[in-house]
A and B are shown apart, each in its own frame.
Chain A
């Protein structure tokens, strides 16, 4: 929404200026992140887009790939508050959201005061979120969706921008609690953190195993993030691009052959919202004033891979979610060209 500080662009020149500013800021942000984080270009791009879109990100990767480092560096670069929570099976909801504790006031009177939990931050790193119990996981649901915490009878608003970056280890399934579909759906993107290449490993060693380790400098503020988000919301998207996203999501419910064969459940309408918003941001971040079908295709995997549930046939045939998404994209693309 336009704010008093930054009204909506009124002319084409304003838009071009805003686009230029946005591109420069985001480019600077990328540069700062690359100073610390080696490789992971898609992950960085996805995290930035999700942050600008006001969404949350689920990062999946084996330990030691720099997931925490990325989030911390991001927090430094955008000058936002950062909190990290290590999820364990004994973690309680109050450990996340905070609790009301009995305290003593100035006159010695005892009152209940609310002690905010680590969720009251801008960037929350929920490490190994699948280790916590579902009860604890659900405590994060309200914060992620509503941007507020209700403790007792009081609702506490979270400050914007608020972004949860959760991580989970794809290997260790012992003693874990897979996130339910409802909670997974609240993440804007699910990003796979890949193993670094040998060249990247060399670079990692060169940068980290040394006395002076680089750190990022703040290049954006929270307000800038919100401004970018508002700017992207004003960008019109052609109906045929939206139609592509709609047919992709609708097709995941069985109307397209790959979905019918391999999916137990398709994506929710949040997926369409994520695709459209993400396409806009991606186009603007790329310096283009229009979102395209290519942008939707580029974001299909991060948006859909955690929203599609494979059936037994897919697991029996060894088909992964990304493969099904590729087939869905091909089917929708054929329909578009015909």
Chain B
């Protein structure tokens, strides 16, 4: 026996490469070899093209998905490089995969034979040429086969035998390329509607999802809000640059940083609210806060940092500035005709404390004549007299008393007549106008009194120097007045000045009779410089307080914006509820117990009559127990609470000057919900789907109605047999054999019965 047949001998292996054959055998079938090699290369290219589309379609589709995710959901930085590297590696792998393995020679030859209808002529010739030697009895046969194959190879057109066909997955590749082009070229919205609710929820709970712009967008901040926040940031820059008080300036810069962080999406809502609360508590308040009596406004809003407190502070500063400006105007009227007097008049009209300080400095540095000195002394006296003027506070008081009396009358009588009502409105308007023009004179009264005492002391000192005979008494009065000063710097300075001045005067009262002008000038200079310093300090304090108020106002705006973010994240819809509010005008007269309208922003529009998308996504009542928040956000349908709560509406108009508070909120709109109730579909019936069908149960009372019959056909189709034939074959076969032995049957019939049972004999189990 020879060696066992190998795979090669059995003809299932590949034909080896022609270069390994004997040369004469290769030459015998050279045309066939050339044709087959040429065809193999063509087949390889065709297979590579045929195999590439589907994996390429997957790759292109994955790239499109990555682009979409990057734009909508955000990907970590640096993923682009990884994606490119991965894509390039995948492309190389695809190319290798597509070209591996190459079609075999035997398979290629058979394919050509099949096309040519040559009945394996090429394959047979190639095979025998590769395997058999020349010295065999079958050599003549192989020669004949080779001749026929060579003739066939010369006539075969490789291109027609192996035509190019459209790759299997070309449609899929086309769709994937189209998707990639759409994802690349189409500007996907930064806030994809379908992901807004989910992203907003994630941002709301502080999850770091998406790119910054996506987070900002998902948080529900629209473009206008972002613009306003950016404007606020630039305004805060200017404020900080002009704030002399360093702690305040740093605080304003912190506010600016917070606003910028929110606008750029670097902070999520929760972090922003925390930072905001910290900044509100950290506002520097160690300025020289004027002692003040709490006004009605402050009583109504006792929390510092609120709009009311800021407004009260502003009015108080305005009142002080107004009082100083009125006194400066009176002093200018008494001063000597000069450029300084003109500047003093202009500064008084502009209520510019810095300009007043500058004028005082100039007067202090000027070489005054005796006459000018006298006039300036008189100007100082007029300044003090004007500060002592209580006309404005009396007007405030008179109007407030009138309003109070009319309110009491209305409360007592249950209403007011038409004339009284008009008087009440008129009084309110006048009071409001007076407040706008002059500030809160009552709140600034103590500050004005302090300034008046300082000015009076300075005026008396100047007069004493101008009148040496009254120097001792004046000195004593000056000393007394100086001792009455409070602990403020100006008061201390006044005390020092007054005391020093008095001491000097008492010591040299007789000696200065001849140099009273000189001493007067020296005192005037000192007083003017002190006044200039006071003005500058007050100016700086007021600027710092203004910076603080504006910073607090920006923080309030930011808080409103964050609250709107939260509501929009819960709403998930475009546009605010109710649309834009109307332009905010001047605040109207306040009603009972209310502050006059103070919003420079437009009042928020009331909830629109058309239910907006925002409303639908409100959380449903009573659903929180059963569903997660995310489910509710996704569903978004239900009888939700009204969305247009305070501050929910977008700003109605551009903010005006000053730190206006937020406008009043619009009316809360009625929530509208729509949704699928439970058990819809089959009224009165419970439909339960099963794997193979649907069971329907009908509940009803027995009555004279139509019957419903249901036929089960499964058993009829499959029969009623309980056991398979494999289980019963043995018994039946044995019984049949017994009957064959017993009964007298023709041999042919016996064979038929036996043949029948042979045919139905169960087949053995399949080999594992």
On A, residues with C-beta under 8 Å from B are: 8-12, 14-16, 19, 133-134, 173, 175-178, 234-236, 238-243, 246, 254-255, 260, 264, 283, 286, 288-295, 309-313, 315, 337
Q: Is B127 within 8 A of A239, CB to CB?
A: yes
Distance A286 CA – B148 CA, assembled complex (angstroms) = 14
- What chain B residues lie within 8 Å of A264 (beta carbons)? 758-759, 761, 763
B-side contacts of A288, CB under 8 Å: 119, 121, 148
Q: Are A236 and B759 closer than 8 Å at their CB atoms?
A: no
> Is the beta-carbon distance between A236 and B767 smaller than 8 angstroms?
no
Contact B10 A254 (CB under 8 A): no
CB-based contact A236/B141 at 8 Å:
yes
Q: Does B748 contact A176, Cβ atoms closer than 8 Å? A: yes
Considering the complex, which residues of chain B in the window 741-768 have a beta carbon less than 8 Å from any beta carbon of chain A?
746-748, 751-752, 755, 758-763, 766-767
**B1-58 with Cβ < 8 A to chain A:** 9-12
Residues 383-407 of chain B, each 1 if its beta carbon lies under 8 Å from chain A, else 0: 0000000000000000000000000
Alpha-carbon distance between A222 and B570 when the two chains are bound, in angstroms? 101
Interchain residue pairs with CB less than 8 A apart (7): A12-B144, A234-B141, A236-B138, A243-B11, A264-B758, A264-B759, A311-B763
**Interchain CA distance A337-B123 in the complex, whole Å:** 13
Instruction: Please report the C-alpha to C-alpha distance between residue A265 and residue B622 in the assembled complex, in whole angstroms.
Output: 72
- Nearest Cβ on chain A to B743's Cβ, whole angstroms: 18
Q: Is B106 in contact with A289, judged by CB distance below 8 angstroms?
A: no
Q: Does B637 contact A (CB under 8 A)?
A: no
Assuming the contacts A235-B141, A283-B119, asked whether A312 and B128 have C-beta atoms less than 8 A apart, the reply is no
A-B pairs, 10 with minimum CB distance: A239-B11, A240-B11, A292-B120, A292-B119, A312-B760, A290-B124, A12-B143, A236-B138, A238-B124, A289-B144
Given contacts A11-B140, A313-B763, 5 further A-B contacts (CB under 8 A): A15-B141, A241-B124, A290-B148, A294-B120, A312-B759
CB proximity of A253 to chain B, nearest CB, Å:
10
A241–B12 CA distance with the chains assembled, in angstroms: 10
Q: Across the interface, which residues of A come within 8 angstroms of B748, CB to CB?
A: 175-177
B residues less than 8 Å from A241 (CB atoms): 11, 120, 124
Cα A323 to Cα B147 with chains together (Å)? 38
Residues of B within 8 A of A290 (CB): 119-121, 124-125, 145, 148
Interchain CB contact under 8 A, A289 and B141: yes
A175 to B750, CA, bound (A): 11
Q: Does B345 contact A (CB under 8 A)?
A: no
Inter-subunit contact A240/B123 (CB<8 Å): yes
- Shortest CB-to-CB span from A52 to chain B, Å, is 18
Contact flags B285-319 to A (C-beta < 8 A → 1, else 0): 00000000000000000000000000000000000
What CA separation (Å) do A219 and B138 show in the bound complex?
A: 29
Give how many A-B residue pairs fall within 8 Å (CB-CB).
111
- Taking chain B's interface residues, is the majority helix, strand, or loop, or is none over half, making it mixed? helix
CB distance from B698 to the nearest CB of A (A): 41
Q: CB-CB < 8 A to A289: which residues of B?
A: 141, 144-145, 148
Query: Could you say which residues of chain B place their CB within 8 Å of the CB of A309?
Result: 759
Q: Contact check: which of B11, B106, B142 meets A242 at CB < 8 Å?
A: B11
> Which has the most chain A C-beta neighbours within 10 Å: B142, B144, B147?
B144
Question: Does any Cβ of A come within 8 Å of B100's Cβ?
Answer: no
**Complex: A315 Cα to B110 Cα, angstroms:** 37
Flag whether B107 is at the interface (Cβ < 8 A).
Answer: yes
Q: Which residue of B lies closest to A130 (CB)?
A: B748
Which residues of A are found within 8 Å of B127, using beta-carbon distances? 238-240
What is the 8 Å Cβ interface bit string for chain B, positions 203-218, against chain A (1 contact, 0 not)? 0000000000000000
How distant is the Cα of A173 from the Cα of B753 in the complex, in angstroms? Answer: 13
Say whether A12 contacts B147, CB under 8 Å.
Answer: yes
In the complex, which residues 135-158 of chain B have their Cβ closer than 8 Å to any Cβ of chain A? 137-138, 140-145, 147-148
Question: Which A residues touch B763, using CB under 8 A?
Answer: 260, 264, 311, 313
Q: Report if B725 contacts A (CB, 8 A).
A: yes
Q: Which residues of A contact B12 (CB under 8 A)?
A: 240, 243
Q: Given the complex, which residues of B lie within 8 Å of A19, measured CB to CB?
A: 144
Q: Is the CB of A240 within 8 A of B106?
A: yes
The chain A residue sitting closest to B8, CB to CB, is A239
| Chain B residues whose CB sits within 8 angstroms of the CB of A8 once the complex forms | 137
A10, A12, A310 pick with most chain B CB within 10 angstroms? A12
In the bound assembly, the distance between CA atoms of A234 and B137 in angstroms comes to: 9
Given contacts A239-B9, A292-B120, contact A10 B128 (CB under 8 A): no
Measured CA separation A173–B748 after assembly (Å): 10
B767 to chain A, nearest CB (A): 7
Closest B residue to A316 using CB positions: B760
Indicate if the CB atoms of A238 and B140 lie closer than 8 Å: no
B113 at the interface (CB under 8 A from A): yes
Name the one of B11, B107, B124, B137 contacting A337, with C-beta atoms under 8 angstroms: B107
A241 to B747, CA, bound (A): 44
Instruction: Write the nearest CB–CB distance from A283 to chain B, whole angstroms.
Output: 7
Q: How far, in angstroms, from A102 to B490 measured CA to CA in the complex?
A: 170
Once bound together, how far apart are the Cα atoms of A322 and B350, in whole Å?
Answer: 115
Let me know if B751 and A15 touch, CB within 8 A.
no
Contacts of B752 in A (CB 8 A): 173
Interface string of B81-121 (1 = CB under 8 A from A): 00000000000000000000000001100100100000111
Given A177-B751, A240-B11, A312-B759; A10-B140 close (CB under 8 Å): yes
A292 touches B759 (CB 8 A): no
Q: Which residues of A contact B123 (CB under 8 A)?
A: 238, 240
What is the CA–CA distance of A264 and B760 in the complex, to the nearest angstrom?
9
Question: Roughly how many angstroms separate A238 CA and B493 CA in the complex, as a whole number?
Answer: 126
CB contacts (< 8 Å) of B144 on chain A: these are 12, 15-16, 19, 289
For the complex, what is the distance from the CA of A196 to the CA of B321, rounded to whole Å?
Answer: 127
Give every chain A residue within 8 A of B758 (Cβ-Cβ). Answer: 264
Min C-beta distance of B114 to chain A, whole Å: 9
Chain B residues contacting A173 (CB-CB under 8 Å) are 752
> How distant is B148 from chain A, measured CB to nearest CB, in Å?
6
CA distance A264 to B144 in the complex (A): 43
Distance in angstroms between the alpha carbons of A66 and B110 in the assembled complex: 39
Nearest-Cβ distance from residue B535 to partner chain A, whole angstroms = 101
B residues less than 8 Å from A178 (CB atoms): 751, 755
Residues of A within 8 A of B760 (CB): 311-312
Contact in complex: A312, B761 (CB < 8 Å): yes
Closest residue of chain B to A174 (Cβ to Cβ) is: B748
Q: Is B140's CB under 8 angstroms from A260's CB?
A: no
Of A15, A241, A289, A310, which is in contact with the most chain B CB atoms at under 10 Å from its CB?
Answer: A289
Residues of chain B in range 256-305 having any CB-CB distance to chain A below 8 Å:
none
The residue in chain B whose Cβ has the minimal distance to the Cβ of A283 is: B119
| Cβ distance B116 to chain A, nearest Cβ, rounded Å | 12
What residues of A have a CB within 8 angstroms of the CB of B121 in the complex? 288, 290, 292
Determine the chain B residues whose CB is within 8 A of the CB of A234 once the complex forms. Answer: 137-138, 141
Query: Contacts A15-B141, A260-B766 known; A239 to B751 CB distance under 8 Å?
Result: no
Q: Which of B10, B107, B142, B747 contacts A236 (CB 8 A)?
A: B142
Contacting residues, chain B, for A292 (C-beta < 8 A): 113, 119-121, 124
Q: How far is the CA of A290 from the CA of B145 in the complex (A)?
A: 7
CB distance from B133 to the nearest CB of A (A): 13
- Which of A14, A241, A290, A292 has most chain B Cβ within 10 Å? A290
A284 to B119, CA, bound (A): 12
Residues of B near A240 (CB, < 8 A) are 11-12, 106, 120, 123, 127
Residue of B nearest to A312 (CB): B760
Most buried by B among A246, A288, A295: A288
Q: How far is the CB of B692 from chain A (nearest CB, A)?
A: 23
- B-side contacts of A283, CB under 8 Å: 119
A138 vs chain B, min Cβ distance (A): 14
Contact A310 B759 (CB under 8 A): yes
A235 to B140, CA, bound (A): 10
User: Chain B: which residue is nearest A177 at the CB level?
Assistant: B748
CA of A225 to CA of B631 in the docked complex: distance in angstroms?
A: 88
In the complex, the answer to whether A9 meets B140 with C-beta atoms within 8 Å is yes
For the complex, give the distance between the alpha carbons of A12 and B475 in Å. 153
Cβ–Cβ < 8 Å partners of A175 in chain B: 746, 748
Complex Cα gap A190–B10 (Å): 28
> Whole-angstrom distance from the CB of B105 to the nearest CB of chain A?
12
Residues of B within 8 A of A177 (CB): 747-748, 751
